[in-house]
Amino acid sequence: MAMIRLEALGRTFEVGGQQVRALDQVDLTIEAGEYLSIMGPSGSGKSTLLNVLGLLDTPSVGAYWLDGVNTSTMGDDQLAATRQAQIGFVFQSFHLVPRMTAAENVELPMLLAGIGGAERRERAHRSLAGVGLADRADHRPAQLSGGERQRVAIARAIVMQPRLLLADEPTGNLDTGSGAEIVRIMETLNERGLTLIVVTHDLQIGERARRRLRLRDGRVVEDLRAAQA
Protein backbone atom coordinates (compact mmCIF):
# COMPACT_ATOMS: atom_id res chain seq x y z
CA MET A 1 0.00 0.00 0.00
CA ALA A 2 1.32 3.38 -1.00
CA MET A 3 1.91 5.84 1.80
CA ILE A 4 0.31 8.72 -0.12
CA ARG A 5 -2.25 8.52 -2.90
CA LEU A 6 -3.89 11.56 -4.49
CA GLU A 7 -6.79 11.04 -6.87
CA ALA A 8 -8.03 13.74 -9.21
CA LEU A 9 -7.24 16.18 -6.45
CA GLY A 10 -8.05 19.86 -6.90
CA ARG A 11 -7.78 22.93 -4.74
CA THR A 12 -9.51 26.12 -5.81
CA PHE A 13 -9.42 29.48 -4.09
CA GLU A 14 -11.98 32.14 -4.63
CA VAL A 15 -10.47 35.57 -5.03
CA GLY A 16 -12.86 38.43 -5.70
CA GLY A 17 -15.52 36.17 -7.23
CA GLN A 18 -12.88 34.54 -9.44
CA GLN A 19 -11.92 30.88 -9.10
CA VAL A 20 -8.17 30.26 -8.89
CA ARG A 21 -7.19 26.65 -9.50
CA ALA A 22 -4.10 26.25 -7.37
CA LEU A 23 -4.21 22.47 -7.89
CA ASP A 24 -6.02 20.82 -10.79
CA GLN A 25 -6.59 17.11 -11.40
CA VAL A 26 -3.52 15.92 -9.52
CA ASP A 27 -2.99 12.15 -9.45
CA LEU A 28 0.02 11.11 -7.46
CA THR A 29 1.30 8.10 -5.56
CA ILE A 30 4.23 8.31 -3.15
CA GLU A 31 5.77 5.30 -1.44
CA ALA A 32 7.24 5.33 2.03
CA GLY A 33 10.92 6.27 2.02
CA GLU A 34 10.86 8.18 -1.24
CA TYR A 35 12.88 11.35 -1.82
CA LEU A 36 10.90 13.73 -3.97
CA SER A 37 11.47 17.27 -5.14
CA ILE A 38 8.76 19.59 -6.42
CA MET A 39 9.70 22.38 -8.78
CA GLY A 40 7.86 24.76 -11.03
CA PRO A 41 7.30 28.44 -11.64
CA SER A 42 5.99 30.77 -9.00
CA GLY A 43 2.27 30.34 -8.44
CA SER A 44 2.21 26.86 -9.93
CA GLY A 45 0.77 25.34 -6.75
CA LYS A 46 3.87 23.84 -5.10
CA SER A 47 3.15 25.20 -1.63
CA THR A 48 -0.53 24.39 -1.95
CA LEU A 49 0.33 20.78 -2.76
CA LEU A 50 2.70 20.57 0.19
CA ASN A 51 0.06 22.04 2.54
CA VAL A 52 -2.49 19.52 1.34
CA LEU A 53 0.00 16.67 1.80
CA GLY A 54 0.76 18.01 5.28
CA LEU A 55 -2.95 18.06 6.24
CA LEU A 56 -2.78 21.83 6.82
CA ASP A 57 -5.11 22.40 3.88
CA THR A 58 -7.98 20.30 2.57
CA PRO A 59 -8.64 19.60 -1.09
CA SER A 60 -11.69 21.13 -2.78
CA VAL A 61 -12.28 18.03 -4.93
CA GLY A 62 -10.72 14.61 -5.25
CA ALA A 63 -9.30 12.39 -2.57
CA TYR A 64 -6.17 12.07 -0.49
CA TRP A 65 -5.38 8.71 1.08
CA LEU A 66 -2.69 8.68 3.73
CA ASP A 67 -1.69 5.15 4.74
CA GLY A 68 -4.94 3.92 3.27
CA VAL A 69 -7.13 6.34 5.20
CA ASN A 70 -9.20 8.85 3.27
CA THR A 71 -8.20 12.11 4.95
CA SER A 72 -11.55 13.73 4.14
CA THR A 73 -13.05 11.55 6.87
CA MET A 74 -10.77 13.05 9.50
CA GLY A 75 -12.01 15.75 11.84
CA ASP A 76 -9.94 18.75 12.84
CA ASP A 77 -8.58 17.10 15.97
CA GLN A 78 -7.67 13.93 14.12
CA LEU A 79 -5.87 15.96 11.46
CA ALA A 80 -3.92 17.74 14.20
CA ALA A 81 -3.09 14.45 15.87
CA THR A 82 -1.91 12.99 12.57
CA ARG A 83 0.28 16.01 11.88
CA GLN A 84 1.71 15.66 15.34
CA ALA A 85 2.57 11.99 15.05
CA GLN A 86 3.39 11.52 11.36
CA ILE A 87 4.42 14.76 9.70
CA GLY A 88 7.31 17.17 10.16
CA PHE A 89 7.44 20.61 8.54
CA VAL A 90 10.40 22.75 7.55
CA PHE A 91 9.57 26.26 6.33
CA GLN A 92 11.51 28.80 4.34
CA SER A 93 11.21 31.32 7.18
CA PHE A 94 12.11 28.78 9.91
CA HIS A 95 9.11 29.66 12.11
CA LEU A 96 10.97 29.44 15.37
CA VAL A 97 9.34 31.03 18.43
CA PRO A 98 11.66 33.98 19.12
CA ARG A 99 11.22 34.09 22.91
CA MET A 100 12.23 30.44 23.30
CA THR A 101 15.66 28.88 23.24
CA ALA A 102 16.62 26.35 20.58
CA ALA A 103 15.94 23.50 23.01
CA GLU A 104 12.55 24.93 23.99
CA ASN A 105 11.60 25.29 20.34
CA VAL A 106 12.48 21.66 19.74
CA GLU A 107 10.49 20.67 22.84
CA LEU A 108 7.34 22.41 21.59
CA PRO A 109 5.78 19.50 19.66
CA MET A 110 6.38 17.23 22.63
CA LEU A 111 4.90 19.81 24.99
CA LEU A 112 1.74 19.90 22.87
CA ALA A 113 1.71 16.09 22.78
CA GLY A 114 1.79 15.92 26.56
CA ILE A 115 5.19 14.28 26.89
CA GLY A 116 6.75 14.75 30.33
CA GLY A 117 9.46 17.32 31.03
CA ALA A 118 12.39 14.98 31.60
CA GLU A 119 11.77 13.00 28.43
CA ARG A 120 11.21 16.22 26.48
CA ARG A 121 14.58 17.61 27.47
CA GLU A 122 16.33 14.33 26.76
CA ARG A 123 14.82 13.93 23.31
CA ALA A 124 15.27 17.61 22.39
CA HIS A 125 18.92 17.34 23.29
CA ARG A 126 19.35 14.24 21.13
CA SER A 127 17.53 15.83 18.24
CA LEU A 128 19.67 18.96 18.43
CA ALA A 129 22.81 16.85 18.66
CA GLY A 130 21.62 15.06 15.52
CA VAL A 131 21.76 18.34 13.55
CA GLY A 132 25.07 19.30 15.17
CA LEU A 133 23.71 21.97 17.51
CA ALA A 134 24.13 20.36 20.93
CA ASP A 135 26.18 23.35 22.07
CA ARG A 136 23.55 25.88 20.92
CA ALA A 137 20.64 24.46 22.93
CA ASP A 138 20.31 27.53 25.15
CA HIS A 139 20.60 30.11 22.39
CA ARG A 140 17.61 32.05 21.21
CA PRO A 141 16.82 32.19 17.47
CA ALA A 142 18.12 35.78 17.28
CA GLN A 143 21.51 34.52 18.47
CA LEU A 144 21.75 31.91 15.71
CA SER A 145 22.73 32.15 12.03
CA GLY A 146 20.18 31.38 9.33
CA GLY A 147 21.62 27.93 8.71
CA GLU A 148 21.61 27.18 12.43
CA ARG A 149 18.00 28.31 12.73
CA GLN A 150 16.96 25.99 9.96
CA ARG A 151 18.81 23.16 11.64
CA VAL A 152 16.85 23.86 14.85
CA ALA A 153 13.68 23.75 12.75
CA ILE A 154 14.70 20.37 11.36
CA ALA A 155 15.47 19.11 14.87
CA ARG A 156 11.96 20.22 15.87
CA ALA A 157 10.39 18.64 12.78
CA ILE A 158 11.88 15.20 13.46
CA VAL A 159 11.73 15.08 17.25
CA MET A 160 8.36 13.32 17.17
CA GLN A 161 9.89 10.76 14.76
CA PRO A 162 7.50 11.43 11.87
CA ARG A 163 7.34 9.30 8.74
CA LEU A 164 6.98 12.25 6.39
CA LEU A 165 9.12 15.38 6.22
CA LEU A 166 7.78 18.28 4.16
CA ALA A 167 10.11 21.16 3.36
CA ASP A 168 8.90 24.27 1.52
CA GLU A 169 11.93 26.03 0.07
CA PRO A 170 14.04 25.18 3.11
CA THR A 171 17.11 26.83 1.59
CA GLY A 172 15.30 29.87 0.22
CA ASN A 173 16.64 32.18 2.90
CA LEU A 174 20.11 30.64 3.12
CA ASP A 175 23.43 31.06 1.35
CA THR A 176 24.65 28.20 -0.82
CA GLY A 177 26.92 26.74 1.84
CA SER A 178 24.39 26.48 4.64
CA GLY A 179 21.72 25.48 2.12
CA ALA A 180 23.82 22.50 1.08
CA GLU A 181 24.33 21.60 4.73
CA ILE A 182 20.54 21.61 5.33
CA VAL A 183 19.93 19.44 2.28
CA ARG A 184 22.63 17.00 3.41
CA ILE A 185 20.99 16.68 6.86
CA MET A 186 17.59 16.01 5.34
CA GLU A 187 19.04 13.47 2.91
CA THR A 188 20.65 11.62 5.80
CA LEU A 189 17.25 11.42 7.46
CA ASN A 190 15.78 10.12 4.22
CA GLU A 191 18.47 7.46 4.03
CA ARG A 192 17.27 6.27 7.43
CA GLY A 193 13.76 5.77 6.02
CA LEU A 194 12.06 9.13 6.37
CA THR A 195 9.91 10.07 3.38
CA LEU A 196 11.21 13.43 2.17
CA ILE A 197 9.42 15.96 -0.03
CA VAL A 198 11.23 19.20 -0.84
CA VAL A 199 9.78 22.16 -2.71
CA THR A 200 12.55 24.23 -4.25
CA HIS A 201 13.40 26.78 -6.91
CA ASP A 202 17.02 25.66 -6.89
CA LEU A 203 17.64 23.31 -9.80
CA GLN A 204 20.82 21.91 -8.24
CA ILE A 205 18.97 20.94 -5.12
CA GLY A 206 15.94 19.69 -6.99
CA GLU A 207 18.02 17.41 -9.15
CA ARG A 208 19.50 15.63 -6.14
CA ALA A 209 16.12 13.98 -5.48
CA ARG A 210 15.52 10.51 -6.85
CA ARG A 211 12.09 11.59 -8.05
CA ARG A 212 11.39 15.01 -9.50
CA LEU A 213 7.95 16.53 -9.91
CA ARG A 214 7.30 19.60 -12.04
CA LEU A 215 4.11 21.63 -11.65
CA ARG A 216 2.59 24.21 -13.93
CA ASP A 217 -0.75 25.94 -13.38
CA GLY A 218 -1.67 23.47 -10.68
CA ARG A 219 -1.00 20.39 -12.79
CA VAL A 220 1.78 17.82 -12.61
CA VAL A 221 3.49 18.21 -15.96
CA GLU A 222 6.57 16.07 -15.33
CA ASP A 223 7.29 13.15 -12.98
CA LEU A 224 10.89 11.98 -13.44
CA ARG A 225 12.57 9.13 -11.63
CA ALA A 226 16.34 9.03 -11.64
CA ALA A 227 17.96 5.67 -12.19
CA GLN A 228 18.86 4.05 -8.88
CA ALA A 229 22.36 5.12 -7.97
Ligand X SMILES: Nc1ncnc2c1ncn2[C@@H]1O[C@H](COP(=O)(O)OP(=O)(O)OP(=O)(O)O)[C@@H](O)[C@H]1O
**Residues in touch with another protein (CB under 8 A):** 51, 54, 56-57, 76-77, 80-81, 83-85, 89, 91, 93, 95, 97-100, 108-109, 111-114, 117, 156-157, 160
Q: Tell me if 22 contacts ligand X by CB under 6 A.
A: yes
Say if CB 212 and CB 36 are below 8 A apart. Answer: yes
Strand partners, 36: 197, 211
The set of residues, in sequence order, having a beta carbon less than 8 Å from that of 129 and lying 6+ positions away, is none
Residue from 23, 44, 45, 47 touching Mg ion (CB under 5 A): that is: 47
Q: Tell me if 17 contacts ligand X by CB under 6 A.
A: no
**What is the spatial order of strands in the sheet that 164-168 belongs to?**
87-91, 164-168, 195-199, 35-39, 211-216, 219-225
Toward another protein, which CB reaches closer, 201 or 210? 201
What does 93 interact with, of ligand X, Mg ion, another protein, none (CB < 5 to 8 A by kind)?
Answer: another protein
User: Using CB atoms within 10 A of its CB, is residue 79 exposed (0-12), middle (13-18) or buried (19+)?
Assistant: middle
SS3 120: helix
Which of the stretches 14-22, 30-38, 46-54, 58-66 binds Mg ion when contact is defined by CB under 5 A? 46-54
Q: Tell me if 200 contacts ligand X by CB under 6 A.
A: no
Toward ligand X, which CB reaches closer, 42 or 73? 42
Q: Tell me if 44 contacts ligand X by CB under 6 A.
A: yes
Other beta carbons less than 10 A from residue 174's beta carbon? 21
Residues lying near ligand X in the complex (CB under 6 A) are found at: 13, 15, 20, 22, 40, 42-48
The binding site for Mg ion (CB under 5 A) comprises: 47
